Amino acid sequence: MAGPPVNPVLVDLFEGPKVDPNFRTISIEITGSDFDDPGQAPSDQKIANALSVVWAVMERYQIRALDVLGHSEIQPDNADPGKKFMALMRYLLGVKALVEGDARMKYLVFGPFLEEGSLPERAVQRYFEFVRAYLVLVDLPVSVYAWEARSKFWFVMDQIVQAPLALPLISQGCFPIFGETGHPGSCYLDPDNHEGLDIYPVGAENKLDWQQRGAYLAVSGACVAVGENHGFHHGKMAVFRHRQPDGAELLTLYGHLQALAALEVGKVYAAGTRLGEVGSLADGSHAFVHFATAYGATWDVQLRQNPNVPLSADARWVQRHFLPPGEFLRQVVV
């Protein structure tokens, strides 16, 4: 059974009689503007007040959560109230429906996601997945990353899905290469479209022992992809998903590997796990691992289909999709 449209009321607004959408909606005005700007973000109290009003209007007029829209979703040239703000409101409506337990309100929030023959719990999961997926669709990975931290989205999803093996929080980690290292190759944004850091193990005339030739998992996380890469970072590649203590998720990528360990997608590995062996250039010199860190949503919009940076990417594109890997390592490696 196909899922519901993103916002059914939009079809009615724009394919129905040509009238001003403002005359076919109930408007709730909130003081302030462009709440996605950190300098103009509303207080927790203002968010709670807005949520209470939205909830009361939904209850009185039997309005579904899917039909609660931000002004910018009806009038695209208007930035108010903000993409992350609307995602937060939809997320909080879901949380409130779970906590309060009102059967009618639960149906208004989760009802459109009920599938024939499936349990109601699955509709709850699909609703929360939709909230994040819609934000991923309309906003940038760096913004989704900030929203995940603000909303604690993944912590709530853990409770809803009740996964048997929760993703561990990032704590102390290790360097991706054993022993002394160097960086004579490309760095983050040098050149502009380089999203990672090329890390070289240092040995006498590049005669490296077994440990030095290994690539190691920087922090504990779940393997999401492993295999051959035919793009910029030729050779084998492994990608892992990690969760920050604040709840946001990120990825680490290990490319230019000559050989891979027996890694399984979906399995959680501890920091320091040997991932494989670093590759070398055609002349056998300069063994190195290409290490990069990406925002979690970059997996959804880019890395799931192609683990390489697009040819047209510039520094601005990289900064919206990838974190500085050197800064990340300095934070986790003691």
91 located within any domain: yes
pLDDT value, residue 4: 45
Q: Which of 113, 139, 165 is the last residue of a domain?
A: 139
171 found inside a domain: no
Query: pLDDT per residue over 151-194, tens digit each?
Result: 999 999 999 987 666 789 998 899 998 877 766 567 888 889 89
Is 304 inside any structural domain?
yes
- Per mean pLDDT, which range of 3-7, 70-74, 87-91, 131-135 is the poorest? 3-7
Tens-digit pLDDT profile for residues 89-127: 999 999 999 999 899 999 999 999 998 888 889 999 999
Helices (DSSP H) in 101-171: which residue ranges? Answer: 103-110, 120-138, 141-151, 153-161
Return the closest-CA partner of residue 197 out of 255, 284, 244.
255
Residue 214 binned pLDDT confidence (cut-offs 50, 70, 90): confident
Is the residue at 148 inside a domain? no
Same domain, 93 and 235: no
pLDDT of 308: 87
63 with 125, same domain: the answer is: yes
**Domain around 61:** 8-139
Average confidence (pLDDT) over 138-146:
97
Q: Are residues 17 and 134 in the same domain?
A: yes
Same domain, 190 and 307: yes
Q: Say whether both 190 and 296 belong to one domain.
A: yes
Between CA 100 and CA 286 the distance in angstroms is 60
C-alpha distances (whole Å) from 314 to each of 190, 191, 229, 265, 292 are 11, 9, 21, 30, 16
Are 212 and 120 in the same domain?
no
Query: Could you report the per-residue pLDDT of 40-51, keeping only the tens digit for each?
Result: 999 999 999 999
Examine the domain organization and report whether 186 and 328 are in the same domain.
Answer: yes
3-class DSSP state of 279: strand
- Residue where a domain stops, chosen among 86, 117, 139: 139
209 in a domain, yes or no?
yes
Domain for residue 167, yes or no?
no
Specify if 324 maps to a domain.
yes
Q: State pTM to two decimals.
A: 0.88
Count of structural domains, the chain: 2
The residue among 106, 121, 139 that closes a domain is 139
Q: Are residues 191 and 321 in the same domain?
A: yes
Q: Which residue has the higher pLDDT, 329 or 118?
A: 329
